[in-house]
């Protein structure tokens, strides 16, 4: 990352961005899709949830949307689907903004900035957490790891004991390892494990759930009446490829049903939780199609050549908290170089 950043900074100093983008556009006709999770200002030392989900501060997000508005043509989900189904032409340099999960900072912090620049976006909701005070499972895990005084964590159900280390603020790496291990477990078992861990390790500090709060339906409705579209991110955020047929049907159908009931409009887009190549398969895609979804989004980095060939395996560029202004600008132009 260090050498790449130096190269980006050098190019930014020597060559105007408009020239670099013009060359890219000359040779590449593509759709750029950005993937965000959270937009919020945090103090790392006091933040006890998954910091990897913080995509940008408010100032960074403002810069990014302003840049998009200047150099690209932001499109809505409806425009994308029209282009696929009805062959409606997309504008030059189309870009689609998306968010996963449905944290309330999407409303509190991102939405005002999107309105300021009149840039549409789509938020994929994990509906089982919307309008509740429940903390999504991976943030519950992170909080447990960052708050417990214990140096080791035993999860007997999967036969593993993890060395957390004595310094709580440096447990991010082991938290990601444990999270990946728990993603391999059915959702019901995973929730039981987390409940048991919280009961077992009573010496943890009190979790500040307000830092990991989801949207409520009133916020969703307000945004939907403006420039925000909504899609499914399932009910409970499981790995879809690991579900039984019955579980898969529930996650795909119930999430769609709940959003449609609350917004009184059809929901036709889905983002696969986790989103890597092992998180979905032909069965997941075929069921999504049969249930009325028209586009599916992965978390595989890259841009999408036009015309779209497979609208259920759309790639997205990940925006992370370390994405500074120069990195952001050139990520949109050279995703293959910067995503490797």
Give residue 110's pLDDT: 98
User: Could you read off the pLDDT of 301-330 as tens digits, one per residue?
Assistant: 999 999 999 999 999 999 999 889 988 988
Contact call for residues 73 and 93 (beta carbons, < 8 A): yes
* CA gyration radius, the chain: 20
CATH number, domain 2-6+26-131+213-339 = 3.20.20.370
pLDDT of 201 above 60:
yes
Q: Is 227 exposed, middle or buried (0-12, 13-18, 19+ CB in 10 A)?
A: middle
Model confidence at 204, pLDDT cuts 50, 70, 90, reads: low
User: Could you read off the pLDDT of 33-65 as tens digits, one per residue?
Assistant: 999 999 999 888 778 899 999 999 999 999 999
Model confidence, pTM = 0.93
Dihedral angle sign, alpha carbons of residues 128, 136, 320, 272 = negative
pLDDT of 2 above 70:
no
Contact call for residues 212 and 104 (beta carbons, < 8 A): no
Dihedral angle sign, alpha carbons of residues 44, 45, 46, 48 = positive
Asked which of 45-54, 198-207, 260-269 is least confident by mean pLDDT, the reply is 198-207
Peptide bond into 307 cis (omega under 30): yes
CA distances from 275 to 222, 232, 279, 300, 306 (A): 28, 13, 6, 7, 21
DSSP string, 228-293: EEEEE--SS---GGGS-HHHHHHHHHHHHHHHHHHHTS---EEE-SS-STTS--HHHHHHHHHTT-
Q: Residues of the chain with pLDDT > 90: what percent?
A: 68
Task: Give the residue extent of every domain in the chain.
Answer: 2-6+26-131+213-339, 137-206
Asked which of 221-225, 237-241, 285-289 is least confident by mean pLDDT, the reply is 237-241
**Burial state string for 15-38 with b = 16 or more CB within 10 A and e = fewer than 16:** eebeebbeebeeeeebbbbbbbbb
């Amino acid at each position: 990352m260090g050498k790449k950043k130096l190269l980006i900074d050098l190019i930014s100093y020597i060559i105007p961005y408009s020239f670099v983008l013009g060359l890219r556009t000359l040779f590449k006709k593509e759709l750029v899709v950005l993937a965000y999770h959270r937009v919020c200002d945090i103090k790392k030392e006091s933040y006890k949830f998954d910091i990897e989900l913080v995509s940008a501060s408010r100032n960074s997000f403002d810069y990014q949307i302003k840049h998009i508005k200047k150099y690209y043509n932001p499109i809505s989900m409806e425009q994308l689907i029209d282009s696929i189904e009805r062959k409606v032409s997309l504008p030059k340099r189309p870009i689609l903004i998306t968010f996963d999960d449905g944290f309330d900072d999407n409303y509190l912090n991102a939405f005002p900035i999107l309105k300021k620049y009149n840039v549409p976006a789509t938020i994929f909701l994990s509906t089982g957490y919307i309008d509740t005070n429940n903390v999504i499972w991976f943030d519950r895990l992170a909080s447990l790891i960052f708050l417990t005084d214990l140096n080791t964590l035993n999860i007997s159900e999967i036969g593993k004991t993890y060395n957390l280390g004595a310094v709580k603020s440096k447990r991010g790496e082991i938290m990601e390892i444990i999270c990946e291990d728990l993603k391999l477990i059915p959702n019901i078992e995973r929730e039981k494990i987390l409940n048991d861990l919280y009961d077992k390790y009573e010496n943890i500090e009190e979790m500040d759930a307000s830092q990991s709060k989801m949207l409520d339906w009133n916020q969703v409705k307000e945004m939907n009446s403006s420039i925000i579209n909504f899609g499914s991110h399932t009910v409970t955020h499981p790995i879809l490829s690991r579900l039984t047929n019955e579980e898969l049907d529930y996650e795909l159908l119930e999430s769609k049903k709940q959003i449609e009931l609350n917004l009184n409009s059809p929901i036709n887009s889905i983002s696969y939780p986790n989103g890597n190549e092992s998180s979905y398969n032909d069965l997941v895609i075929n069921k999504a199609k049969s249930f009325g979804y028209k586009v599916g989004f992965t978390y595989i980095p890259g841009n999408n050549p036009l015309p779209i060939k497979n609208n259920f395996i759309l790639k997205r560029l990940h925006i992370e908290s370390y994405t500074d202004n120069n990195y952001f600008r050139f990520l949109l132009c050279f995703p293959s170089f910067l995503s490797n």
